[in-house]
Amino acid sequence: MKPKILLLSNSMLFHFSFCSLYKNEFEVTPYLLRYLNKNLESQAEHFHIQIQEQKRRKLYKKGVLSDPNRIILTNKSIQQVVEQCKNNEYTKIIVEISSGSKEELILLKELNHTKIPVSIFTHSTNDKFLSEAKDLNVNSLFHLTDLFNLKTRF
């Protein structure tokens, strides 16, 4: 039986990369943090998310958005993720962190209470976030590009 992994990602790139690289080794339950209420199993909703992400990139290129990867996590969405963890028996949680915002740190702290090992993939974050993430009982901390070099090491 394959290990069950909860994949919490900010971007479609990370989502597609992880799922395509590791779909044979893990049973992956993917969630896009920006679209928690969307079902990624539905092709229509998946297509809708892709269109929304293309619009975000265009707004960023035009200067309307300062950070296209920034997400806003509310307490309700964080609790939704924690409930998902409690209701299923995951062997690991993999989280993509884009900027190390306060909301992302709160999410990690809440996930830490579930006692499920958490691996973090990060783009670039500040030193304060890295030190606070290390204070949590985080299983492993990787740079985003490590995804292509790791295979099942994490």
DSSP character string of 124-140: ---HHHHHHHHHTT-SE
- Tokens representing residue 13 in the block: 């790139």
Residue 55 maps to a domain: no
Domain enclosing residue 97, as ranges: 4-35+70-153
Question: Residue 109 is part of a domain; what is its CATH number?
Answer: 3.40.50.2300
Q: Is residue 61 part of a domain?
A: no
Q: What is the structure's pLDDT at 21?
A: 81
- The mean pLDDT value for 72-100 works out to 85
pLDDT of residue 152 exceeding 50, the answer is no
Q: 12-26 pLDDT, tens per residue?
A: 778 888 888 887 888
28 neighbors 40 (Cβ within 8 angstroms): no
Report if residue 78 sits inside a domain: yes
pTM for the whole structure: 0.76
- Asked whether residue 45 is domain-assigned, the answer is no
Structural domain contains residue 135: yes
**Measured between alpha carbons, how far is 154 from 9 in angstroms, rounded to an integer?**
16
Q: How many domains would you assign to the chain?
A: 1
Query: How far is residue 16's CA from residue 152's CA, in Å, rounded to a whole number?
Result: 17
Other C-beta atoms lying within 10 Å of the C-beta of residue 80: 14
Considering the domain boundaries, does residue 15 fall inside one? yes
- Who's near 60: CB < 8 A, 6+ residues apart? 66, 67, 68
On whether residue 25 sits in a domain, the answer given is yes
88-121 per-position pLDDT tens digit: 889 888 888 877 778 888 888 888 888 888 888 8
- Give the length of the chain: 154
pLDDT digits (tens, 9 = 90+) for 26-67: 888 888 887 777 777 778 887 888 888 888 888 888 888 777
Q: Is residue 47 part of a domain?
A: no
